[in-house]
């Protein structure tokens, strides 16, 4: 702990790093303020009450998870209610899926910085388009669907004017979030969008603590269903899960690589050994996000089709066996899918190794090396898929087994824990790089922090 505080103090002493840290904190403060600015014409207090009632009836559900990503803005209908999901979805669609499927976009990605900026501009356009669609659906939800289901009025002045105002306000809010994230990435520390998501999740900790205190009850620990032994077990379990997540996120499968010796004149080149690092969890948190997006679609569709409401409440609740099985299968599928998209860079390494005279001991260069790497990556991905399934479903198991609120259980696994741990590691890695460049010691006495990529 002393070494960690000493490293942070050294970081504060570096003027350039201090400016980056202050700038990053300033952007996060602006984001947190925007979370509490309401959309005009909406009864936010009544909406929050209905939201809490709905999430308790469905055991939390995916709606509660989406609300966590927005820092609670979704349940209050604020200008940042869309959160970062439109930006993430547009970036994944344009820069990952379409860039691998459309040759013109693939050429842009290979053109270096200029091509990447052009591709990223397309992602911005797609973000605005998704924000317009999502904000219009949200306005219709507030104006028509909620009054029909809960027999209460949320919108003070319904009509086309409210819909247009909501679309303009929330789309502008999404644009501000996108600008804040890009400013943090360019002028601050860490990845801007990831830090904003982390700020939203961490900002829900006071709510989780409040729910835990409510769960304790007025009688204190002695008469509470959450006995002191249970609280101690929860604390130990949380620490253990965090350590496991850090271990797996940092884990690599190192494939040994040997360089052939070459004699040029009187000098001998090559002959050294190295390794090719294959990350265990190549896809990161993307498989869980993709699975949530697909499973959330029927729930969102049911809000506009009353005939589907009973089906979704029965089959798509967090305690439903069918939903959890579908959730696990989708995570496994998207784990292999995202790994296949990002694995081309590792399989292309076989050609590069052949050009420079490198080889894997016992494996012939060329096609045999590609097959060997593909076989290893398949096995490693299987481990990653099982790991992600366990982490994703663990909050539901803890919530059902220990009878704790969903806001508390969400911190024991799932997307929130993966994002917070991964972003923290990446940010610490960047700070440590600045410290080592200026001959300061890092956060740890031995070794260095490895990033997720």
CA distance 377 to 279: 9
pLDDT class of 26 with cuts at 50, 70, 90: very high
pLDDT greater at residue 136 or residue 277:
136
pLDDT (mean) for 374-398: 85
Task: Determine which helix (DSSP H) or strand (DSSP E) holds 268, and give its type and residue range.
Answer: strand 267-269
Average pLDDT, integer, range 140-155: 78
Summarised one tens digit per residue, pLDDT across range 245-260 is 888 888 888 888 877 7
Both structure tokens of 334 = 């998207």
What mean pLDDT is predicted for residues 19-38?
Answer: 90
Which of helix, strand or coil describes residue 262? Answer: strand
**C-alpha–C-alpha distance, residues 131 and 83, integer Å:** 10
Q: pLDDT class for 309, splitting at 50, 70, 90?
A: low
pLDDT greater than 80 at residue 64: no
CATH code matching the domain that covers 222-412, chosen among 3.30.413.10, 3.40.50.150, 1.10.3370.10, 3.20.20.370: 1.10.3370.10
What's the pLDDT score for residue 422? 79
Q: How confident is the model at residue 220 (pLDDT cuts 50, 70, 90)?
A: very low
- pLDDT (tens digit per residue) in 320-344: 677 778 888 888 988 888 777 666 6
pLDDT given at position 23: 92
d(CA 308, CA 305): 6
Residue range 307-322: mean pLDDT, rounded: 62
**Residue 30, C-beta contacts closer than 8 angstroms, at least 6 positions apart:** 180
Rounded to the nearest integer, the mean pLDDT of the chain is 77
The C-alpha atoms of residue 343 and residue 376 are separated, in whole angstroms, by 11
| pTM of the predicted model as reported, rounded to 2 decimal places | 0.76
Given a cut of 80, whether residue 177 has pLDDT beyond it is: yes
Token readout for 227 is 């006995």
The answer to whether 45 and 154 have CB atoms below 8 angstroms apart is: no
Q: Per-residue pLDDT for 222 more than 90?
A: no
Residue 243: Cβ-neighbour burial (10 angstroms; 0-12, 13-18, 19+): exposed
Whether the predicted pLDDT of 307 surpasses 70: no
Task: Outline which parts of the chain fall under CATH 1.10.3370.10.
Answer: 15-203, 222-412
Whether the predicted pLDDT of 395 surpasses 70: yes
The rounded radius of gyration (Å) of the Cα atoms in the chain is 25
Domain at 15-203, CATH homologous superfamily: SecY subunit domain (1.10.3370.10)
């Amino acid at each position: 702990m002393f070494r960690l505080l000493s490293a942070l103090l050294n970081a504060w002493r570096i003027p350039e790093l201090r400016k980056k840290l202050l700038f990053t904190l300033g952007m996060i403060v602006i984001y947190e303020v925007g979370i509490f600015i309401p959309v005009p014409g909406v009864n936010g207090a009544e909406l929050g009450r209905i939201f809490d009632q709905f999430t308790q009836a469905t055991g939390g559900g995916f709606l509660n998870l989406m609300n966590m990503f927005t820092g609670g803005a979704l349940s209050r209908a604020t200008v940042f209610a869309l959160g970062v999901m439109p930006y993430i979805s547009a970036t994944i669609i344009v820069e990952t899926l379409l860039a691998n499927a459309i040759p013109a976009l693939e050429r842009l990605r290979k053109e270096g910085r200029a091509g990447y900026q052009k591709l990223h501009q397309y992602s911005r356009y797609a973000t605005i388009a998704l924000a317009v669609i999502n904000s219009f659906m949200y306005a219709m939800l507030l104006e028509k669907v909620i009054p029909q289901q809960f027999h209460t009025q949320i919108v003070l002045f319904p009509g086309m004017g409210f819909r247009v105002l909501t679309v303009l306000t929330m789309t502008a809010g999404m644009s501000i979030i996108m600008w804040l994230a890009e400013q943090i990435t360019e002028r601050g520390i860490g990845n801007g969008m990831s830090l904003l998501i982390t700020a939203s999740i961490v900002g829900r900790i006071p709510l989780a603590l409040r729910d835990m205190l409510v769960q304790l009850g007025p009688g204190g620990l002695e008469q509470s269903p959450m006995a002191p032994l249970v609280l101690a077990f929860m604390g130990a379990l949380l620490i253990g899960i965090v350590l496991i997540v850090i271990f797996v996120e940092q884990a690599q499968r190192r494939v040994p690589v040997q360089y052939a010796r070459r004699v040029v004149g009187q000098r001998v080149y090559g002959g050294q050994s190295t390794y090719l690092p294959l990350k265990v969890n190549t896809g990161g948190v993307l498989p869980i996000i993709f699975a949530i997006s697909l499973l959330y679609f029927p729930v969102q569709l049911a809000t506009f089709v009353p005939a589907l409401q009973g089906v979704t409440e029965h089959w798509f609740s967090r305690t439903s066996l069918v939903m959890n099985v579908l959730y696990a299968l989708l995570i496994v599928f998207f784990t292999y899918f995202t790994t296949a998209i990002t694995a081309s860079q590792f399989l292309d390494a076989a050609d590069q190794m052949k050009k420079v005279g490198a080889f894997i001991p016992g494996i012939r260069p060329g096609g045999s090396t590609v097959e060997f790497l593909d076989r290893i990556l398949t096995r490693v991905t299987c481990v990653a898929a099982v790991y992600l399934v366990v982490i994703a479903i663990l909050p539901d198991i803890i919530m059902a087994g220990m009878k704790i609120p969903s806001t508390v259980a969400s911190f024991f696994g799932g997307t929130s824990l993966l994002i917070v741990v991964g972003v923290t590691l990446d940010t610490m890695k960047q700070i440590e790089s600045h410290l080592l460049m200026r001959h300061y010691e890092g956060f740890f006495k031995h070794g260095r922090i490895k990033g997720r990529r």
